[in-house]
Each structure stands twice: as structure tokens, then as C-alpha cells.
Amino acid sequence: MKDIFRFTYKAKFENPSLIVGWDKDAGRLSPKVIEYLNKKLNAGSFCDIEPVDFFSLAGVAVERDTAQFPECKFYYCERNDLVIFKANEPEFERYRFLDAVSDLAQHHFGVKHLYTIGGTISSTTHSNTRKILAVYNKKELQQELNGYGMEDMTWQGTPAISSYLLWVAERKGIPGVSLWTQIPFYLAACEDFQAIRATLSFLDNRFSLELDLKELDEQEQSQNIKIDRLRQEDSEINRCIGALENGQSLNQEEQLNLIKAVSEFLESGKS
Amino acid sequence: MGFKLYREPDPAKAENSIMFCGWPGIGNIGILAIDTLKELLKAQEIGQIEPWEFFEPYKVTIEGGLLKDLEFPSNKFYLQQFKDQGLLFFIGQQQPSEPRTRYAQGQKAYQMANLVLDVAEKFGCQRIYTSGAAVTQIHHTAKPRVWAVPNNQNLAKEIKQYQNTVLMSEIEGRGDQGLITGLNGLLLGVAKKRGLDAICLMGEIPYYLQAAPWPYPKASKSVLEVITTILGLKVDLTALEELSQKIEQQIDDFLESLYKTEAIPPEIRDEIEKLRYTEPAELGPITEEEQKRIMEHIDELFDQGGRPDERHL
């Protein structure tokens, strides 16, 4: 197991919590939350996972004009006793990957709790407050986090990697919670600043991080102004969002048009 | 990585056992045959191979904020005593495969084959039967034969006594060679390495149905008839026969609709229909080119397309 990890620094922890985010996510929630945390907490990387067993390394993908390479890194924040893990989802050997991460968390870091971060696509609108839905692997942690304003989730379906990690952690006796923050479906391909802020706000409260979230407040406000402008310019988009705000549903064509219009408008940088 | 048994073998009975293995494959012929026998004999579940190192989970259940369950394809062992023999069954919902491969192959398949045989040996099995499909020139209205491939020459003589069963060397145009893909073949090889007798029984399926989404119970029935004769077992196969008839009618209706709309060109229809009146032994080998030409038309008709988007949590 050890040979898949490459340590670059000997970080010290007491009884840390592990926060896990994946590189791809709805509303870019997971990577943005982790990047924000790392930046604001001055978290430094100290360990990474060798990609060869878990990713196809037949060349590199190019995204946003840049060559990409799978990255699975652990960051440390000794001051707040946090370990932060940001990773591309493994393509192969997912159980071995998650088992190794959990083993390292338990035996090397002595992790107390696991938190996974993710966005869940929802029919809510950008003008609504984002809810965080929670899934726990231990009842005790569910009781401990009662009062943080999260809603318990009930669901059945194909598991995402965070659910898989939560299951692996449970088998090892690591209490954990998956946080699923609502993302309006038409913001899934963009950055959902309100959802990012809501998730960071929870982590801020939970770990007393004293994060400065002003930057995100401004980005959220700016995004809402842009969407309002789109609504003024395009009556059909205004009708669709209005319908969602009134609890009505859209047909598939309307949904796709809304996603396309909002994504293009926000990416075009109009304001 | 390993197996978990809920019941240990009885030392007094753990000899002279036989194992039957079934996995999904073309027409689900093998798994349907073995699972039907397991059900008819009311074999009891006695253990499983821990699936997480072989398979991806396919379902999560979350209730009231609690992660209740993560489900993986199952790979279970069942046992029933019959006369003085232990009949051990291994039923796998999925074959382990390496990324981007269709059939079980590579390290994981080899590990699984070894785990299956570890359990077989623990229960004193000296003989293993696997089952699958033999894709060939046969019409779907004809009774499928069973192709038998043993893992040593001594078993060939025995196989010749089985009803409606042929060895590779007896199949027109085959010579005495072929390839058994997936765990059905691999298990034969690993058993040979361990000095265990193993035979793969493959029910014939028309080549034009090899990509069809429905099972082919007619061939499963042929396989079961061979197995029950070997065991000296009388079982009621009425349910399997009824299912065979129902599927045969569906195939007839499906092909008829394709002929009518000319979704299948007339020359391909003629080739399929020619099989209706031909005895298996009269058939010459089908060339790769002929098969490719026919399958180009048939496979795309069975293509189910992509799965609808699902929300993953």
C-alpha cells in the first residue's frame, strides 16, 4: 500500500478531520471548495498518489487549452488540524484506491471524521437558498451534526465515488458524512458561487476556520445580476426560470435550452 | 481478497463432490442452466466471494440520511447433497474483467477462478462443470446440441457417451480447435493446473442471436438434459421448456417484422431461413466474411444504445 503514496513533507496532526473533494463536480463545487480552503488556510501539499495503477496514462487530456494530468494530493493545515484531499476520480481499481486512502487516513493521520464534498443537481433556482443534503455512515455523527442546518437525504441509485468512499470508511470504523449541496441544474456546467459559499460556510462553522467569504459573496451577487440581465433580455428564459420559482417543472427541451442559454451567457462575460 | 463461507464442509461428506459454475454470457445459457438446477435442487447458500475487489458497486441505498447499503454483483456458492454426492454451485452475476475488455481476462479473472477452485477443493470437489454458449450455424427452431470441452483427454471418452453432445473434433469445419472465452475457459485451465477434472458444456445458439438482449433457454435446456443424465437425476424442466417456446415465438415475430420492413436484406433472410431446413451436421463452416456481413445487419438491430442519464450519489 505504501508504495502508491509519495510523501514530500512530514506533516503533524493530532486528531484531524479529512475533507475530500473531487476534481469534477456539478457547479464546480468540489474543486472550488477545496481550492478556496487551501488558499485561505495556506494549506500545503505533503503527499500524493502515484497515478499509474488508477488512471489511463495513454497521453494527456487537453481541457481549456491546457494539458491535464491526473492529480491526487493531500494537503495539510496543522493550525486547524485538517487533512484535505483533492483528487481526480480514479478510472481503475477504485476499491483499492479508496481502501488505500482510508487506510492512510486511519493509520497514518489518525483521522477522526471524514467529510466528502459534492454537488447534487436540483430543480431549485439560483434565487433560492441552497440546501446541503447529508448522508452519514454512523448514527452518532448524524446526531453530532444535528443543528448545522443540513437535511437528511433519502435516495437509491448508482453510487457516486463519495458514497463508495463513505462505505469503505464505515467498514474501517471511520465515521463520515457526505455533503451534497444543491446546484440548480442550469448552473451545473458553470460555477455555482452560492453553493460553494454554502458548503464553505458549513465547514467554517464546523471547524471554526474564520474564513473570509467576502470574495464569494461578490461573485454570487455578480452572477445573480448576470442571470437577471439574461432574464430581461430573453423572455423565454425568464418564463422558464419563473416557472421553476413557482414550483412548476420544465420539459426536456426547455431544460436543455435553459442550460445552454445560461451557460453561454455566463461564459460570455456579459454584465 | 477472498471468500466467505457461512458453512464449513462436513468432513464425512466432503469427498466426491461436483461443482457447477454459471456466469452471464451469450444468451445467458450457462447461468440459466446452472441456476435452474440449483433452484430445482433447492441448494442452500453457503458463502460468497467478496465482490469489492472485482466489481464496481451498482446501487447505494440511503435512508433518513444514513448510508444503509452498497450493492455489488453477487458471486455466491450453494450446496445440496444428492445421494452420496455434494453438489456445489457457484453462480456469478458478473464476470470480472479488466478495463476495456468484454470477457473475463487478466489478473482479476485469474484470481477469481482460483478462489472458486479454492472453495471447490475445500468441499472435496474432483470434478468441475462450467457452462456457456457455442455460437454456430443453427436455426432457432432446431434443438441445440451441446459442445463439450474437457480439460484432459481421459474425459473425452466419457463425453462421447453423453447424449446430444459433441466434442470439438466432431464439429464440421472446426478441426479439434477453438477458443472458450471468459471464466468458462479460464476455469478449465486453472483446474487443469491443479489436477482437477473440468468440462465446459456449451449450448448451441444461432450466430444471428449472439447479440440479442434476451436469454436463449432452449440451449440451457439442452445443457441441463446432459447434466441431469450424468447425475442420474430426474427433474421437471417444464418451466424451462415453456420459456423456450415463448422466446422462440418472440424471435419468430422479431425476425418476421424485420423481413417485412426489409430491415434485413433478402439475401441475409435467405441465409437464415436456409438454416431452418438443415441438420447441424450438414453445415459447412461459416467463413469470417460471411459472418461479418450477416452480423453487420443483425448486431445493429440489437444495439440498445446508451443508458439514460442517472443521478449518481
Tell me what the pLDDT averaged over chain B comes to: 85
What was the pLDDT predicted at B304? 43
Given a cut of 70, whether residue B100 has pLDDT beyond it is no
Structural domain range at position A223: 216-268
E-assigned strand segments in B125-248 = 125-136, 146-150, 165-166, 197-206
**For A167, which of B64, B70, B310 is closest by C-beta distance?**
B70
Q: Find cell 456546467 and name the residue.
A: A189
What was the pLDDT predicted at B30? 95
The number of domains in chain A is: 2
Comparing alpha-carbon positions, the chain A residue that sits nearest to B108 is: A93
Q: Is A91 on the interface with B (CB under 8 A)?
A: yes
Average pLDDT of span A97-126:
96
What was the pLDDT predicted at A63? 77
Q: ipTM, 2 decimals? A: 0.91
Are residues A130 and A251 located together in one domain of the fold?
Answer: no
d(CA A181, CA A137): 18
**For B313, which of A56, A120, A139 is closest by C-beta distance?**
A120
Mind telling me how many Å the CA of A171 is from chain B's nearest CA?
11
What was the pLDDT predicted at B290? 57
In tens, the pLDDT along A132-152 reads 999 999 999 999 999 999 999
Q: With pLDDT > 90 as the criterion, what percentage of chain B qualifies?
A: 57
- Write the CATH number for A104: 3.40.50.10900
What was the pLDDT predicted at B306? 35
Are residues A51 and A27 located together in one domain of the fold?
Answer: yes
Interface of B with A in 181-210 (CB under 8 A): none
Tell me what the pLDDT averaged over chain A comes to: 93
In tens, the pLDDT along B254-311 reads 888 888 887 888 888 888 888 887 766 555 445 555 556 666 666 666 654 333 333 4
E-assigned strand segments in A123-258 = 132-136, 151-152, 155-157, 176-184
Are residues A17 and A41 located together in one domain of the fold?
Answer: yes
Are residues A196 and A239 located together in one domain of the fold?
Answer: no
E-assigned strand segments in B27-84 = 44-49, 59-63, 66-71, 75-82
Interface of B with A in 294-313 (CB under 8 A): 310-313
What was the pLDDT predicted at A186? 96
Are residues A201 and A247 located together in one domain of the fold?
Answer: no
In tens, the pLDDT along B135-160 reads 888 999 999 999 999 999 899 989 98
In tens, the pLDDT along B157-188 reads 899 889 899 988 777 666 666 678 788 889 99
Given a cut of 90, whether residue A170 has pLDDT beyond it is yes
Given a cut of 80, whether residue A60 has pLDDT beyond it is no
Are residues A160 and A254 located together in one domain of the fold?
Answer: no
Residue A26 or residue B182, greater confidence: A26
Q: Is B65 on the interface with A (CB under 8 A)?
A: yes
Q: Is B107 on the interface with A (CB under 8 A)?
A: no
Q: Using an 8 Å CB-CB cutoff, list chain B residues near A151.
A: 65
Mind telling me how many Å the CA of B63 is from chain A's nearest CA?
4
Are residues A188 and A228 located together in one domain of the fold?
Answer: no
Q: Is domain B11-302 classified as CATH 3.40.50.10900?
A: yes
Q: Using an 8 Å CB-CB cutoff, list chain A residues near B64.
A: 152, 154
d(CA B74, CA B55): 9
Are residues A83 and A130 located together in one domain of the fold?
Answer: yes
Are residues A82 and A169 located together in one domain of the fold?
Answer: yes
Average pLDDT of span B219-231:
96
Comparing alpha-carbon positions, the chain A residue that sits nearest to B65 is: A152
Q: Which residues face A184 on adjacent strands?
A: A122
Comparing alpha-carbon positions, the chain A residue that sits nearest to B309 is: A158
Domain boundaries, chain B: 11-302
CB A158 to CB B66 under 8 A?
A: no
- Which of the residues B49, B60, B309 would you substitute to probe the A interface, choosing the one with the greatest number of A C-beta atoms within 10 Å? B60
Q: B312: pLDDT confidence band, cut at 50, 70 and 90?
A: very low
Are residues A207 and A222 located together in one domain of the fold?
Answer: no
In tens, the pLDDT along A73-95 reads 999 999 999 999 999 999 989 99
Are residues A193 and A248 located together in one domain of the fold?
Answer: no
C-alpha angle with apex B87: B85 to B90, nearest 5 degrees?
160
What was the pLDDT predicted at B216? 96
Are residues A108 and A171 located together in one domain of the fold?
Answer: yes
